[in-house]
Amino acid sequence: MDGSGKTLVSVVVPAFNRVEYIRETVESVLSQDYPRVELIVVDDGSTDGTYEILLEYAEKGDLKLLTHPNRANRGQSVALNRALENASGELIAILDSDDIFLPGKLRAQVDYLQAHPEVGLVYGMGEAVDEKGRWLYNIHSPNHIEPNDPNTVLLDCYFSLPVNALVRRSIYEQVGGFEEGFRAAQDHDMLIRIAEKTRFAFIPVKVFQYRRHGDSISHKGLRKRWENGFEILRRAQARYSYNTSTIRKRRALLNYRMAQVCWRENRSFAAIGHLLRSGALDPVRALKVLTGKEKVR
């Protein structure tokens, strides 16, 4: 790998109905100071004008635009796999279509991977912003320490694979594609599988903005996300030798999250059942939450 810019970075973006944000997202990639960037966007059947905006960029040669047959909507995992299949870069960065790469993001992460060949994934700091781009809170601090333990990644998805990380292409080739049966939590599933195969590294550089808004996938698909979480946990347990305590605590957290979903859906009986299971699996943490000593966001 050559830090002077000879290494090609493929930035892949799955896009679906993001007309309000897609220009800013694309421009955040095009304005990077790293010289060799291939931008691949898969439009996943947009109907709100997103596709037409992307087509403008594609016609100027700023990005490679892909679609599914008949411009169907097939979900983010399918879109990501399509992009990865068409990517030529040695390094891969994923960017959700409503998030932002901050200036210098790619150069800082490429430089790190060049200097540390034993590392397969590098991530940094960021900030959450609202739909208008107004700052909400910081994500990670300069004193954050990467534990390099798959147990920690399984238990607590403490950083985002999309928008934050830069990953060697060889790692994706080892772990396989995104699970196309998941329309939520596929990013956590992939991050777990990557953690089982390679070392992670953290750099104290602010590299992204994560946009929080009511129309985001993470906001709308909470039930499906936590239902998928149980299946992700089952697969992880079958695939890798995780600590028994990690499996138990993760199952407790999933039950707690499902209780929250059930409360929102006015399914109080089901919510109580999940809460009881959560408390039985991890009574120490349950007590901390009940007494206000810990908040689970």
- Distance, CA of 78 to CA of 65 (rounded, Å): 15
Determine if residue 114 is left, alpha or beta; phi over 0 gives left, psi from -120 to 50 gives alpha, anything else beta.
Answer: alpha
pLDDT tens, residue order, the chain (297 aa)? 444 558 999 999 999 999 999 999 999 999 999 999 999 999 999 999 999 999 999 999 999 999 999 999 999 999 999 999 999 999 999 999 999 999 999 999 999 999 999 999 999 999 999 999 999 999 999 999 999 999 999 999 899 999 999 999 999 999 999 999 998 899 999 999 999 999 999 999 999 999 997 765 544 578 999 999 999 999 999 999 999 999 999 999 999 999 999 999 999 999 999 999 999 999 988 777 766 666 665
In the chain, where the domains are located: 9-213, 220-290
- pTM of the predicted protein model: 0.91
- Distance, CA of 235 to CA of 248 (rounded, Å): 14
Q: Reduced to 3 states, what is the DSSP secondary structure of residue 292?
A: coil
CA angle 239, 120, 175 (to 5 degrees): 35
Q: Which fold has domain 9-213?
A: Spore Coat Polysaccharide Biosynthesis Protein SpsA; Chain A (3.90.550)
Position of tokens 């299949």?
A: 85
Closest C-alpha among 178, 181, 183 to residue 220:
183
